[in-house]
Amino acid sequence: MNLKNIALFAVVAVLFVATGVMQSWNVALNIFNMGLISAIMALGVNMQWGYAGLMNIGIVGFVALGGLGAVIVSVEPVGAAWAAGGLRVLLGLAAGAATIVAAIFTWRRMAGHRLRSLAMLALLIVGFVIYRRIFDPAVHAIEAVNPALTGYLGGLNLNILLSWPVGGALAAGAAWIIGKTALGLRSDYLAIATLGIGEIVISILKNEEWLSRGVKNVIGIPRPVPNEIDLQNSASFVERAASIGLDPATASTLTVKIAYSGLFIVVLLILIWATQAALNSPWGRMMRGIRDNETAAEAMGKDVTARHLQIFVLGSAVCGIAGAMMTTLDGQLTPASYQPLRFTFLIWVMVIVGGSGNNWGSVLGGFLIWWLWVQVEPIGLWLINVITLGLADDNALKAHLLASAAHMRLLTMGLVLLLVLRFSPRGLIPEK
């Protein structure tokens, strides 16, 4: 950390403080909490792109899997649904997985070209029929259990903090499957394959109601911090709030948000320490060596595909952790809200603007770009008001421009990304 980098972080800090003073501290803390989560997502993508040069265009899927982890771990199990078909669903999934494993096994072990293809195909078709026979009735039974309130299996009723590593593990599993197929091919193919896995994870969350309640959303996920209303009802809390001159409502919302910030900061610090240590270890040097010259690294006896798979899984796991944290913060899982523009492409802007290959850069990019993403809308509205000052209030052009101000966001993000790539391609805090 040199003086310039400290100054950059100070500028971002000033932005947040200014938001607190000029708008409200609640808004500032909201942005700050999502900024922490964004920084973690950016760290994950930076591991993949910055250390190893792998393009992941399906971040949204890994983030959503983390969110699913939060539901599976923390929500109360729905006993009636488990009785109706819980074990049968698991059996169906096991049958499906066994079919795929058997097909891979057949492909690897059997000799003969045509016979092998036919055997694999037959196995897949029979396996698929068996899987649907077991799986479908169970799903119907589960989704019929009180569909307005539950209609899904629920979770394990464990502490939600446990869901953060679990969300990471889910994302890591998905990353392993996709990495196994697409790594080792030309780099664009990984990008396109991850684009696909992102879409698929989202459609699974939207449609597998027995698992995630789909578009009916899971709300009221348990929180790791106290409820605002409990704080407001506690006499000692109200007293303390009054002693520093705050009304109970504001004090309670601020306290809850600061508590979340504290939890997230701990995770961020652990991850920064781990990623920095990894980057500066022989392993990190090897990764950068592979990125800069694959042929030379291979000649030195490094297994490039295996190392790529390793870092791809690790980076995706970090995105999954961030996804679980975000669902914890929101207190709900809303599958329809996972938009690729917001959760894939915006994270890329953070990594590139911050400086790919540099962990501190990703953290800075996460905070800065997330702040900008939120604040561009009011700034854009103000700007358009200023530009159209000369026009009458009933002017059609002015009305259209004012109504479209919200879309300034996308435009601005694109311009920021293009300008940084053009004039400072190594980002705000370049790799050493």
Partner 1 sequence: MDFFNAIVAFSNFVIVPATAYGAQLALGALGVTLIFGILRFSNFAHGETMAFGGMVTILVTWAFQSWGISFGPLPTALLALPFGILGTALLLLATDRAVYRFYRVQRASPAILLIVSMGVMFVMNGLVRFIIGPNEQRFADGERFIISAREFKALTGLREGLAFKTTQGITIVTAVVVVALLFWFLNRTRTGKSMRAFSDNEDLALLSGIDPERVVTVTWIIVAALATVAGVLYGLDKSYKPFVYLQLLLPIFASAVVGGLGSPLGAIGGGFIIAFSEITVTYAFKKVFNYLLPENLEFSSLVQLLSTDYKFAVSFSILVIVLLFKPTGLFQGKQT
Contact residues toward partner 1 (CB under 8 A) are 53, 55, 57, 128, 181-182, 185-189, 191-193, 195-197, 199-200, 203, 206-207, 340-341, 345, 348-349, 352, 403-404, 407-415, 417-418, 421-422, 425
Q: Structure tokens of 283?
A: 């392993």
Write down the least CB distance from residue 315 to partner 1, Å: 16
| Four-point Cα dihedral 23, 29, 31, 32, nearest 10 | 130
Cα separation of the two ends of the chain: 11
Residue 218: strand, helix, or coil? strand
Distance of CA 113 to the CA centre of its chain: 42
Write down the least CB distance from residue 75 to partner 1, Å: 23
- Which DSSP category does 389 fall into? G
> With respect to partner 1, which residue has the nearer C-beta, 203 or 227?
203
> With respect to partner 1, which residue has the nearer C-beta, 9 or 345?
345
Spell out the residues 6+ positions from residue 137 whose beta carbon is closer than 8 angstroms to its own. Answer: 85, 88
Write down the least CB distance from residue 340 to partner 1, Å: 7
- Residue of 308, 316, 288 lying closest to 194 (CA atoms): 316
> With respect to partner 1, which residue has the nearer C-beta, 181 or 281?
181
> With respect to partner 1, which residue has the nearer C-beta, 221 or 408?
408
Write down the least CB distance from residue 417 to partner 1, Å: 4
> With respect to partner 1, which residue has the nearer C-beta, 29 or 347?
347
Q: How far is CA 226 from CA 8, 208, 223, 248, in A?
A: 34, 31, 7, 14
Write down the least CB distance from residue 239 to partner 1, Å: 49
Spell out the residues 6+ positions from residue 35 whose beta carbon is closer than 8 angstroms to its own. Answer: 16, 366, 367, 370, 371
CA distance 284 to 51: 7
> With respect to partner 1, which residue has the nearer C-beta, 27 or 191?
191
Write down the least CB distance from residue 2 to partner 1, Å: 26
Identity of the residue numbered 265: I
Write down the least CB distance from residue 178 to partner 1, Å: 8
- Residue of 272, 325, 412 lying closest to 33 (CA atoms): 325
Residue 40: strand, helix, or coil? helix
> With respect to partner 1, which residue has the nearer C-beta, 132 or 285?
132
Q: How far is CA 92 from CA 68, 77, 207, in A?
A: 20, 19, 17
Residue recorded with tokens 């100070």 = 10
> With respect to partner 1, which residue has the nearer C-beta, 112 or 245?
112
Q: Structure tokens of 312?
A: 């791809």
Write down the least CB distance from residue 275 to partner 1, Å: 21
- Which DSSP category does 151 fall into? -
CA distance 320 to 345: 16
CA distance 153 to 46: 35
Write down the least CB distance from residue 401 to partner 1, Å: 8
> With respect to partner 1, which residue has the nearer C-beta, 241 or 368?
368
